[in-house]
Amino acid sequence: MAKVLVSDPIAAEGIAILEKAAQVDVKTGLTKDELIAIIGDYDALAVRSETKVTADVLAAAGKLKIIGRAGVGVDNIDVAKATERGVLVVNSPEGNTIAAAELTVALLLALARNIPQADSSLRGGEWKRSKYTGVEVYKKTLGVIGFGKIGREVAKRLQAFGLNVLAYDPYLTEDQAVQLGVRQVDLNTLYRESDFITLHVPKTKETAGMIGAAQIELMKPDVRIINVARGGLIDEIALSDALRAGRIAGAAIDVYSVEPASPDNPLLKLSNVVHTPHLGASTEEAQVNVAVDIAEQIVDVLAGKPARAAVNMPSIAAEVLVKIQPYLTLAEKIGALQSQLSRGTATKVEVIYSGDFDDFPTVHITRAVLKGILEPILPESVNFVNAPGLAASRGIQVVESRKPLSDEHSCMLTVRVTGTTGVREICGTVYGRNEVRIVHIDGYRVNIDPRGYMIVTEHTDRPGIIGKVGTLLGNENINIAGMHVGREGAGARALMILRIDEPVADTLLTQILTIDGLESAVQVHL
């Protein structure tokens, strides 16, 4: 049974899902050395933001297949090293969307009306109404940096308060902006025109420090900035200097460049800043949502299925996964058959999509082909994450193409592998909802259910050959479960596929090869 380590606190609902499919150990508060000492025993790791999954940790994680981050950000995980080692990293991009959006709105309103400061003053025995006079948000301008799911939910809520919304997002189209009732602008325009600015972007090389002294100089003197996204997006020194000098009016900060926030952080000493200790996802509902989400993904991946919210490979929606799952199976089977029939080293893999693949994310299917090709020949673990990198490191060129289908099948997946000894082409399709079939091998028409043990032979089509192979198998008490023969014509070359109930010894294969007219005999396992 697979083993899962939960090293940060996650909701019980998520742990219950994991326990149905794996042995689960909950060990929170581990030091780095303690984590390194035990991580080699586990197939999966579930974390929040506290556990740091560094290169050293990953180097010790010989069995690890997946890391599930219960939340959005993966700053605490070395994603590049995980990818290199074939470890899938998944997160929960939607589980805390509402929680983060609602906190953003709460902080904005608290900032506008000086609510935390007034509360503290009143508790201290003061009654200073004029000191805490705020500003209305009605008819003000809100600038939203990052117009993904959270940014859109924030905009929707604050539009109801009567704010005009400016949006900056490289992936937002003009049509989408119009439909959502926002004005799409560049960053400098957003900085100049906004009364409130809220950030909803990941921390990357491009976004780190994106608001610094130069950007603050462009802003209105009464602007207020809210950050519930990631620490490090704002230069904290530049922000504190501007707040102290009255260059801008205020800020509300939930995330910090170093967490837990140091008492020496200059922002903590300012009265015009509202602080919360990284509470963006801290609602009961969000904690359940993200825990359930990553638990389901971990269970799926351990069962050999793709994840729907992978960070280090293209994600896939659940409803799309249902549609393409048979083609993922087919692709991996074709790849494995290619690899096991090969007599040389692959230099080029062409994956050709013919027919009605228009709505399919073919990148996943191509990865499945590569996984099937590489897994039988490599000592290291091969999966959907590292298959493209492993292929590239071995100089294998991978080409995808599409073409119309002039065949009886609605969809045809063709994998053509060029190697040091020639070219082999295998085609397959799916009948109905999930009947996977291989239908062509090097031009021979076949109809193979690709599973179990098989013997694949090439021979001259003449009477007696099939019988002689059957006799040799029968003499060793090996049952033939199915047979298919494709041929060029009577007396010409033929291809035979025998499905057998158990593997054959190499000595028996050698005997089969002595049959007159037989050119090759290869045992494969799919």
Count of alpha carbons within 13 angstroms of residue 355, beta-carbon side: 14
pLDDT band at 466 (very low <50, low <70, confident <90, very high): confident
pLDDT at 399 over 90: yes
* Alpha carbons 492 and 14: distance in angstroms, whole number: 60
Q: What is the mean pLDDT of the chain?
A: 90
Q: What is the pLDDT of residue 489?
A: 66
Please compute the mean of the pLDDT values over residues 295-305 and round it to a whole number: 90
* Alpha carbons 27 and 38: distance in angstroms, whole number: 10
pLDDT at 86 over 90: no
Structure tokens at 418: 């060029």
Q: What is the pLDDT of residue 358?
A: 66
pLDDT band at 474 (very low <50, low <70, confident <90, very high): confident
CATH numbers and ranges of domains, the chain:
3-92+285-302 (3.40.50.720), 97-275 (3.40.50.720), 316-450 (3.30.1330.90), 452-526 (3.30.70.260)
pLDDT at 315 over 80: no
Q: What is the pLDDT of residue 32?
A: 95
pTM of the predicted model as reported, rounded to 2 decimal places: 0.62
% of the chain with per-residue pLDDT over 90: 57
- The sign of the torsion formed by the CA atoms of 6, 8, 11, 14 equals negative
* Alpha carbons 373 and 524: distance in angstroms, whole number: 13
Could you tell me which residues are beta bridge partners of residue 338?
A: none
Q: What is the pLDDT of residue 491?
A: 61
48 has catalytic annotation: no
The residue count for the chain? 526
259 has catalytic annotation: yes
Q: What is the pLDDT of residue 221?
A: 96
Amino acid occupying residue 41: D
Structure tokens at 386: 């590292």
Q: What is the pLDDT of residue 406?
A: 58
pLDDT at 422 over 70: yes
230 has catalytic annotation: yes
Higher-pLDDT residue of 241 and 83 is 241
pLDDT at 322 over 80: no
Q: What is the pLDDT of residue 202?
A: 83
Contact criterion met (CB below 8 Å) for 161 and 185: no
Higher-pLDDT residue of 195 and 72 is 195
Mean pLDDT is highest, among 309-318, 479-488, 500-509, for: 500-509
pLDDT at 318 over 80: no
* Alpha carbons 454 and 475: distance in angstroms, whole number: 17
Q: What is the pLDDT of residue 264?
A: 92
DSSP letter (8 states) at residue 268: G
H helix count then E strand count, the chain: 17, 22
Q: What is the pLDDT of residue 408?
A: 64
Which of 152, 230, 367, 484 does the annotation list as catalytic? 230
* Alpha carbons 354 and 183: distance in angstroms, whole number: 41
Amino acid occupying residue 15: I
Find the angle CA(94)-CA(52)-CA(72) to the nearest 5 degrees: 10
Could you tell me which residues are beta bridge partners of residue 77?
A: 53
Please compute the mean of the pLDDT values over residues 441-469 and round it to a whole number: 86
% of the chain with per-residue pLDDT over 70: 96
Contact criterion met (CB below 8 Å) for 21 and 2: yes
Amino acid occupying residue 427: C
pLDDT at 404 over 90: no
Task: Answer whether the bond into residue 260 is a cis peptide, omega within 30°.
Answer: yes
Contacts 24+ apart (CB under 8 A), 163-171: 163/137, 163/138, 163/139, 163/196, 164/139, 164/140, 165/141, 166/141, 166/142, 166/190, 166/193, 166/194, 167/143, 168/143, 168/144, 169/145
Please compute the mean of the pLDDT values over residues 75-90 and round it to a whole number: 88
Q: What is the pLDDT of residue 382?
A: 77
Structure tokens at 296: 């389901």
Please compute the mean of the pLDDT values over residues 186-197 and round it to a whole number: 97
SS3 219: coil
pLDDT at 407 over 70: no
Burial 82-119 (b: 16+ CB within 10 A, else e): bbbbbbbbbbbbebbbbbbbbbbbbbbebbbbbbbbbe
Which of 84, 94, 102, 259 does the annotation list as catalytic? 259
Higher-pLDDT residue of 487 and 366 is 366
Please compute the mean of the pLDDT values over residues 160-182 and round it to a whole number: 93
Give 497-508 pLDDT, tens digit per residue.
Answer: 988 888 888 888
Crossing angle (nearest 10°) for helices 465-475 and 506-513: 150
* Alpha carbons 144 and 167: distance in angstroms, whole number: 5
Q: What is the pLDDT of residue 74?
A: 85
pLDDT at 410 over 70: no
Which of 113, 247, 278, 437 does the annotation list as catalytic? 278
Give 363-390 pLDDT, tens digit per residue.
Answer: 889 999 998 998 888 766 677 777 888 8
Find the angle CA(308)-CA(309)-CA(311) to the nearest 5 degrees: 135
* Alpha carbons 16 and 6: distance in angstroms, whole number: 12
pLDDT band at 153 (very low <50, low <70, confident <90, very high): very high
